[in-house]
């Protein structure tokens, strides 16, 4: 039986602004609980308003590790004004540009999970270039172009510890199903073809991959 979030965390997840459906959230939570056993931080690329962060944070809290979440908080391409996934409430009224940091902080505060999360505000490749510590889990849910998804994979997959998990969101093998492009699917194929990762589970568009105990670098 996979680990499930406590009811109050599931309720906070469902109340939070975001795009992840509940079945994928449950799969992400189970992966986070599994990976947290390594005693290493759990890292997310793509915080948005904190919907998925809540799940990593609760798993991190239970295991006594830290969840780290990375976002520049200016939104992805498909979330900009005029695009399908734009939410006008995420626009800073003074600057007229997206800023999801305030909503994220409210989400985390309301769930009582602030002290289990380190939020890094900036561009994922810049932060990855500074990062050296091994990670128990990397969850990639940032930009969906080949440039961004590819850079997230190259920057963060090498930090997944042996036995740790690489979790990819919005993996659509069939172009008919995709809504933001197939770059995450191409990253998924790269990860498998690298030989460093094997698939553990698939739920909706969420893929959980594990780095083999004596694995390679994760670069495909
Ligand atoms: C699909 S949303 C994340 C959704 C979130 N995981 C959830 O479940 O609600 C993608 C996020 O990635 C961020 N993002 C896109 N490209 C980025 C980059 N290169 N560096 C940092 N953040 C990025 C956007 O600002 C946006 O908030």
55 located within any domain: yes
% helix / strand / coil in the chain, to the nearest 5? 40, 20, 40
Asked, for residue 158, whether it belongs to a domain, the answer is yes
- Strands (E) across the chain are located at 42-45, 67-71, 117-121, 135-140, 160-168, 197-203, 206-211
The model's pLDDT over 82-129, given as tens digits with 9 standing for 90+, comes to 888 899 999 999 999 999 999 999 999 999 999 999 999 999 999 999
Ligand 1 proximal residues by C-beta, below 6 Å: 18-20, 46-48, 51-52, 70-76, 100, 123-124, 141-143, 148
Distance 48 CA to ligand 1 centre (A): 5
**pLDDT (tens digit, 9 = 90+) per residue, 70-80?**
999 999 988 99
Does residue 218 lie within any of the structural domains?
A: no
Nearest atom in ligand 1 to the alpha carbon of residue 124 is 20
Segment 2-24, tens digit of pLDDT: 899 999 999 999 999 999 999 99
219 in any annotated domain = no
199-204 contacts, C-beta under 8 A, 24 or more apart: 200/31, 200/165, 201/27, 201/31, 202/171, 203/23, 203/24, 203/26, 203/27, 204/21, 204/23, 204/24, 204/27
* 1 alpha carbon – ligand 1 mean position (Å): 30
pLDDT of 25 above 80:
yes
Instruction: Please indicate, yes or no, if residue 54 is contained in any of the structural domains.
Output: yes
Please indicate, yes or no, if residue 176 is contained in any of the structural domains.
Answer: yes
pLDDT score of 216: 46
Instruction: Give the chain's mean pLDDT.
Output: 94
CATH classification at residue 198: 3.40.50.150
pLDDT the model gives residue 186: 97
Confirm whether 144 is a catalytic residue. yes
Give the up-direction half-sphere exposure of residue 67: CA atoms within 13 A in the CB hemisphere: 28
Start-to-end CA distance of the chain, whole Å, equals 33
- CB neighbour burial string for 131-158, b if at least 16 within 10 angstroms, e if fewer: beeebbbbbbbbbbeeebbbbbbbbbbb
Q: State the Cα–Cα distance between residues 212 and 162, nearest whole angstrom.
A: 6
Is residue 216 a part of any domain in this protein?
Answer: no
Whether 168 is covered by a domain: the verdict is yes
Q: Ligand 1 centre and the CA of 20: distance in Å?
A: 12
- The DSSP H or E segment spanning 18 is none
Q: Domain count of the chain?
A: 1
The model's pTM: 0.95
What domain range includes position 140?
Answer: 7-211
Which residue's C-alpha comes closest to atom 22 of ligand 1? 71
Residue nearest to atom 16 of ligand 1 (CA): 143
Q: Which pLDDT score is estimated for 1?
A: 83
| pLDDT tens, position by position, 172-186 | 998 766 666 899 999
């Amino acid at each position: 039986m996979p680990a499930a979030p406590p009811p109050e965390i599931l309720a906070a997840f469902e109340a939070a602004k975001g795009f992840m459906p509940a079945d994928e959230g449950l799969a992400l939570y189970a992966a986070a609980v599994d990976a947290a056993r390594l005693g290493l931080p759990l890292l997310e690329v793509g915080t948005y308003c904190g919907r998925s962060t809540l799940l990593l944070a609760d798993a991190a809290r239970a295991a006594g590790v830290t969840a780290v979440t990375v976002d520049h908080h200016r939104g992805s391409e498909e979330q900009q004004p005029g695009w399908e996934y734009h939410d006008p409430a995420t626009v800073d009224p003074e600057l007229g540009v997206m800023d999801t940091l305030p909503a994220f902080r409210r989400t985390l505060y309301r769930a009582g999970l602030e002290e289990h999360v380190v939020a890094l505000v900036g561009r994922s490749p810049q932060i990855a270039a500074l990062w050296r510590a091994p990670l128990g889990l990397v969850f990639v849910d940032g930009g969906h172009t080949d440039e961004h998804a590819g850079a997230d994979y190259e920057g963060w997959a090498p930090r997944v510890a042996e036995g740790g998990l690489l979790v990819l969101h919005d993996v659509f093998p069939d172009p008919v199903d995709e809504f933001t492009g197939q770059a995450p699917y191409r990253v998924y194929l790269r990860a498998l073809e690298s030989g460093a990762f094997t698939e553990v589970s698939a739920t909706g568009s969420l893929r959980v991959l594990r780095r083999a105990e004596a694995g390679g670098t994760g670069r495909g």
